[in-house]
Each structure stands twice: as C-alpha cells, then as structure tokens.
Homo-oligomer: A and B are copies of this chain.
Amino acid sequence: MAAKSKFAERLPVLEDFIHKTGRAPTLDEIRSLFKVRSKNTASIIAGKFVEAGTLARTGTGRLAVPPQARATPLRILGSVAAGFPSPAEEALLDTLTLDEYLIAHPESTFMLKVEGDSMIDAGILPGDTVLVERGRTARNGDTVIACVDGEWTMKHFYKDKSGIRLEPANIKYTTIRPKRTLAIEGVVCSVIRKLV
C-alpha cells in the first residue's frame, strides 16, 4: 500500500483551484475537479475538506475559503514611538493587505532572493527578498535588476549626458558603465526581510 489516500491526492488539486479562482468550488465544480459523477460524492468530499479546514461554509451552507487561507488584512499602527493601541482604539484602525500595499502589477511582479552585499548601504542585505517589477521604466535613483555584459546584478540606476551608469551601494565596489550590452530587466519595488 502506502498509496496516497484519495484525500491527499485531491488536496493539491483543490488548493490549486482556490489559488486560481480565489474562491471555494461548488459541488458541481468539485465533480469536474475530481472526475466524479455524483453530487452525493461531491458533497461527501466537500465535507471532508471542511472537516480538514481546507474549506469552510458560509452561514447558508455554501462552500467558502476558510479565514486562515485568505489574504490577511493587517491593522496599521502609526509609528514605533506611538506604540500599540488599546483594545478600544483597535477597532478604528485602518487595515491593508500586503498585496494591496506592495503589488501594483501582479502579472509582472516577481520575488527574487538577494545574493551578495553590493546594495548593503541602501539597507538591502544578502538573504533579503525583493519584489521586482518587470518591464517598468527605470528612473534616476531606482534600484534595478540589470544584465550587464551577460552578468546579472542589482544596482542603482542613473542616466545622464554621458550615458547610463550603475552604482552599487557599497564602497567596496565601483560604478559600472556598461561596455557592450545592458538590459534593465526590472525595477526593485520593495525589499522584504524575514527575521523570525
């Protein structure tokens, strides 16, 4: 045996559906998702997923995405100096999801891991993750992902009368003035560091 249980087989398919549609499937969609012909079977399958917490139900019995799988609206506090609000104030706080905050163009945005310390003086450390928007036009001072003479690198972008130059944020490295080929592949829109 050790054959994967039906449940385990179906779980990733369901998760994929939720990712793609942003909502829970209906029983009919479960039928076509798992190639079962009976609504009863679909209902039983749905029940298992609800039990497992992969799906939830609305007040009227419809299938829904459970809270923990949803985009989290984070409460926004003022500043470090202000500290945490009292429970009474907390209800008044504005909320924002990280997506809303950081991603303007979902189709062209990528996550990229930072290697090396060439941007360390700009507070971009090795191991950080950056969100890169592809196809965006770089402006002076932007942090860009560029391909210079076949090498991929992250630098500050500047353009003046004498052409384009790429400046690292680390005195150990020197400014690059591309000789042969230069492609600005994307602009770094945000920096993310996971601490714990």
Contacts and interface: CB of A to CB of B under 8 A. Distances in A.
Interface of A: 19-23, 26, 58, 60, 64-65, 67-68, 70-84, 95-99, 101-103, 106, 109-116, 120, 123-125, 128-129, 131-134, 136, 142-143, 145, 147, 152-154, 185-196
B75 A142 contact: no
Contacts of A26: 60
A51 B153 CA distance: 43
B115 A81 contact: yes
Contacts of A124: 123
A22 B64 CA distance: 9
A172 to B, nearest CB: 16
A107 B129 CA distance: 24
Nearest to A132: B77
Contact of A112 (B79, B129, B133, B143): B79
A32 to B, nearest CB: 11
Given A19-B73, A110-B77, A195 B143 contact: yes
A113 B195 contact: no
Which of A26, A96, A111, A145 has the most chain B CB atoms closer than 10 A to its own CB?
A111
Contact of A71 (B22, B120, B186): B22
